[in-house]
């Protein structure tokens, strides 16, 4: 793996662009959450595919699919970041999260499962929490069956499972995520098997756009608030979102939303996750992809404004 460039700040987030084979490029991220120091919480976000065949309407990392990363190449991303701070692989951090969420739907790559098996062997990291963020594509049942076994064998309560929902309107959801995917009933069925008492609740993620309905009652029809929680995030500033006229319902200057109160009244734990706005400028937030910015002649206000440094 050859690191080509990076962008960001060590006290917030850094994005790395790397070339792996035959000129194929990936990106991966390391970030902290000010004011929480790195020794309390550190997040790595890695790519699992070259490009992504899903093409969500607001995600710059979609398109240009060129295949799956090998187990070795998945681990190289993680190890490159770890070695910068913990060369002996002893990672004494309270919460060390590895998210398979930069580029690519992880359920399309069985090698992600091999990485999950190897992480506890390679690293001495008591605070390790792997995180799978997925749209749950149809046809990936084998991945999820094996994931359940791995979670129970290696991680127990220290695992974060997240399903991308975005809206309870089925037609809108199919437009936002234009591939065949599990319906709410199947997600709930799997989640009920995945969750054990004392586990982290399974996250239902809503990158919430204007005019995208979210019905607390529909969610209650499928998802038990004792097992599932709701995470609300903004639509981050991306070229795809602008092209498709998708505007964020969540605004940085606003903290009170009627919808959040309705979801709480329905019994759900609700997380409003806005994060550092500086990450939009760095290009490290969910849905952003520096390579797309490089290939685009236009600019976005308050997004992708950091200069790339050659490495």
> Domains in the chain and their CATH numbers?
2-310 (3.20.20.70)
Q: How far is CA 240 from the centre of its chain?
A: 17
The secondary element (H helix, E strand) that includes residue 51 is: strand 49-52
pLDDT in the model for residue 70: 97
- Asked whether 16 and 283 are in contact (CB, 8 A), the reply is no
pLDDT in the model for residue 293: 60
CA atoms of 30 and 9, how far apart (whole Å): 10
Query: Per residue in 287-306, pLDDT tens?
Result: 776 776 677 656 777 788 88
pLDDT in the model for residue 289: 67
- Asked whether 82 and 89 are in contact (CB, 8 A), the reply is yes
CA atoms of 53 and 249, how far apart (whole Å): 26
Quote the pTM value: 0.94
CA atoms of 49 and 109, how far apart (whole Å): 7
- Asked whether 164 and 62 are in contact (CB, 8 A), the reply is no
**Length of the chain in terms of residues written:** 311
- For the chain, which ranges sit under pLDDT 50? none
Cα–Cα distances (Å) from 57 to 85, 87, 132, 153, 204, in that order, read 36, 39, 20, 36, 18
| Structure tokens belonging to residue 97 | 């999260």
CA atoms of 102 and 49, how far apart (whole Å): 9
Torsion on CA atoms 240, 241, 244, 250, rounded to nearest 10: 170
Q: DSSP letter for 55, please.
A: -
Cα–Cα distances (Å) from 94 to 22, 39, 91, 115, 158, in that order, read 38, 7, 9, 21, 12
3-state secondary structure 66-120: EEECCHHHHHHHHHHHHHHHCCCCECCCCEEEEEECCCCCHHHCCHHHHHHHHHH
């Amino acid at each position: 793996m050859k690191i080509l460039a990076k962008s960001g700040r060590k006290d917030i987030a850094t994005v790395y662009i790397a070339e792996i084979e035959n000129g194929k490029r990936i990106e991966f991220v390391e970030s902290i959450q000010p004011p929480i120091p790195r020794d309390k919480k550190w997040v790595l976000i890695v790519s699992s595919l070259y490009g992504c065949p899903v093409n969500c309407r607001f995600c710059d990392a979609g398109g240009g699919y060129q295949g799956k990363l090998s187990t070795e190449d998945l681990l190289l991303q993680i190890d490159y970041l770890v070695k910068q701070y913990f060369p002996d692989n002893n990672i004494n951090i309270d919460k060390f999260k590895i998210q398979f969420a930069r580029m690519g739907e992880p359920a399309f790559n069985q090698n992600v499962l091999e990485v999950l098996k190897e992480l506890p062997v390679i690293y001495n990291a008591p605070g390790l929490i792997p995180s799978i963020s997925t749209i749950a594509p149809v046809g990936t049942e084998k991945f999820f069956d094996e994931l359940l076994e791995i979670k129970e064998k290696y991680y127990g309560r220290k695992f974060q499972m997240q399903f991308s929902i975005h809206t309870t309107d089925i037609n809108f959801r199919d437009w936002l995520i234009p591939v065949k995917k599990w319906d709410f009933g199947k997600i709930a069925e799997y989640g009920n098997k995945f969750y054990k008492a004392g586990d982290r609740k399974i996250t239902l993620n809503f990158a919430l756009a204007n005019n995208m309905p979210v019905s607390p009652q529909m969610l209650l029809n499928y998802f038990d608030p004792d097992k599932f929680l709701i995470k609300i995030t903004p639509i981050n500033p991306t070229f795809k979102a602008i092209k498709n006229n998708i505007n964020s319902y969540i605004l940085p200057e606003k903290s009170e939303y009627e919808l959040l109160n309705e979801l709480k009244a329905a019994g759900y734990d609700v997380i409003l996750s806005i994060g550092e706005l500086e990450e939009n400028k760095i290009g490290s937030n969910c849905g952003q992809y520096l390579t797309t910015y490089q290939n685009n002649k236009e600019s976005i206000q308050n997004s992708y404004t950091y200069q790339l440094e050659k490495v």
